[in-house]
Amino acid sequence: QLVQDLMTPEDIPQKEIPMKLMTIVRAFTLLKSDDMKSLYNELKGEFQSDYHKMSIFQNLYFDSVVVSGTTPAIIFVKEMIKSQEMTKVQATTAFALMPHHIITPSTEVFESLMDLIRSEPVQKSSPLFNTAVM
């Protein structure tokens, strides 16, 4: 529904998009990384035939996961970046948002991020690497 709302810009204020996004973010705080991955794969199938819808879906999904700020969310994002499911722009945005939204900066989160920074997809992209290090 949210992807469709964003594709038709008429009456945006009446569509209550920010409220819907916050509901999604709150829901992500309750999920484990495996649940996030399963949900992503299930929903992705609905948008694969339309590049524009797929792009909107991925941006909403990945940004909402990052904003949820949980440890499972960071693990999910790490997997998406390492598998190159996220574009470089999406990954760069995720790295830029993370410091503001991580709820519990635990050792597990720190080690996951360090592992991600050392990974090939991040090392190969100078803008992505620079954003990740900052």
Q: Is the pLDDT of residue 20 over 90?
A: no
Decide if pLDDT at 12 tops 70: no
Check pLDDT > 90 for residue 8: no
Confidence of residue 48 (pLDDT cuts 50, 70, 90): confident
Residue 41 has pLDDT above 90, yes or no: yes
DSSP assignment letter at 32: -
* Helices H / strands E in the chain, number of each: 9, 0
State yes or no: pLDDT of 47 exceeds 90: no
